[in-house]
Structure 1
């Protein structure tokens, strides 16, 4: 884990900024290199960390092939759970009916965009089952509108961003969430046994927190 964090930071802040990607950009003109560097760095870091772990324990593995196979198989559940739900949310955002939902949310609280923004973020996070997935979809489809509304209402964009990030951590752990399904599978638990406890920690408390931030931000600014 330390190697993943350190190597990711090294690639992000030292290695990649010093490289010339003009040849790659010329070959793939539609590739968003700046938007891909973060993904590249984390993938490289994870692969290197796995290789280092295998090498360091050479001679101590009971069954290396079985371990690699089991690790690969166990990684597929969270990957495909999250990817399918975020993809589902992206399809929803591309439908014509989403425009109606978007307009209704934007007009939910014309005098205080913080409220409608929080509703939009947490709703999309709930649809996708992912806080990061819901946040990315919401900001790509509604970000410009909320920035304009913030400027018009005299609200600091930093406060808008803080509310957006916190709100995305509200309904992202509904029962269909890939993270929730994966967590219960790893722990050998069922939704019936543990979901109420998990929902209290990951939904109720964050929603109370974001509500407090909206109230305080409305009263005192950021």
Structure 2
């Protein structure tokens, strides 16, 4: 509900004024719209609100849909409820979900740096340990895998991919299984934290004041 200017007079519009028009036809009265300053309900130090206009006798009634507040019952009388409505707040979508940066939220920046470093370092370490073990034992059954294969195994394990490498010695099997266990724990923590982040996200509201 609201009003519009028709020359010097104000003409009401909306459901609230439709109800006033029904009452006007039934009880045969005329009315003049007096708008509060800046269309406010409560008064401030410089503006007279609609409530105080009724209390002070400057207006007979308020034609608007207002929330029923118990603290105002001593000064004004509310009519019967004609309808109920829900109040919603619209705001800009949080940047975290819009930009997709929420995928990095489960871990902090130092953790991501350590994960990247481990991907770069573990592959060469596995290759060197297998190479040293093969030279020290001098066993013909020891198979030294090339460096690219070791690096690809480390990266593929992070993505839960299988490998064609088949370690034959206990030391190489221990290295491979240790990395697999680490990746399993890492992905389990990441999945759990990401689920909690998407379910119970606490974004900063885009409100400055």
TM-score using structure 2 length: 0.24
TM-score (norm: length of structure 1):
0.22
Structure of higher RCO (CA pairs closer than 8 Å, 6+ residues apart): 1
The structure that has the greater radius of gyration is 2
